[in-house]
Amino acid sequence: MNLIIDGNNLMFRAAFSPSPPSMFKGKDLGTVRKFLRMLKNYTMTFDPDTVYVAWDKRSGSGHGENFRKEASNEQEYKDNRNHKDNTAIFEACNDAAEIISSLGVRNMFPWILEGDDVMGWIADKSDRAMIITADRDMWQMINENVSVFDVNKKVAITSQNWSDHCPVDRKHYVLWKAILGDNSDNIKGLAGYGPKKSVKLVERIAQDGLDVLDKDQRDVIDLNIKL
């Protein structure tokens, strides 16, 4: 089994968890130490054959724009993220990547896309995989061979227990998310559609097709599916 870990997500969780300072050559590596401890716990829990940590740090800067940025136009995809105030966390990501590479963990970096794309690609190529993340966008990867350990729920979401955790069928999950939008990624959903109302709309679309939507609604959903 491949264990696929959302590196940036895990580091942010480590940074905002209480941890004592851990000084090394005048540098506090307390957050990195907490990250390593969390990583160890996941490897002991799932006993994988291979551990991948996917980072958001792009390896192809300057070689093209993320297609989501190009598609978002007025939505300003992820422009709500404050990178300046999190400089120390991103430095911790670099430190952790260097350390875990010596432990046999495979660091994975996107070219001009995102860490999510790398995780999705690895999962798709795996015979069996467990994805560790708080990002529910990754639920779209769940099938008979791929599960997602939701760090907020502290439970593995699988194809078998899907209905216990999500109100729509797996095949309609991306549509449901497109209707809802995603505040964390600065993606606006359909106006007036919250979690419950959006489920009813998914059911209508599943039965009657996209004709139940007007053109503006279809445009929003088409764009959000791409994002």
pLDDT value for 22: 77
pLDDT at 27 over 80: no
Mean per-residue pLDDT over the chain, rounded: 89
Identify the pLDDT of residue 112.
79
Instruction: Band the pLDDT of 18: cuts 50, 70, 90.
Output: confident
pLDDT tens digits, residue range 31-54?
A: 999 999 999 999 999 999 999 999
Q: What pLDDT, on a 0 to 100 scale, did the predictor assign at position 76?
A: 62
Write out pLDDT tens, residues 171-189: 999 999 999 998 888 888 9
84 Cβ contact list (under 8 Å, min separation 6): none
- Summarize pLDDT for 81-139 with one digit per residue, the tens: 555 568 999 999 999 999 999 999 999 998 878 899 999 999 999 999 999 999 999 99
For residues 23-38, average pLDDT:
85
Comparing CA positions, the residue from 32, 7, 3 lying closest to residue 20 is 32
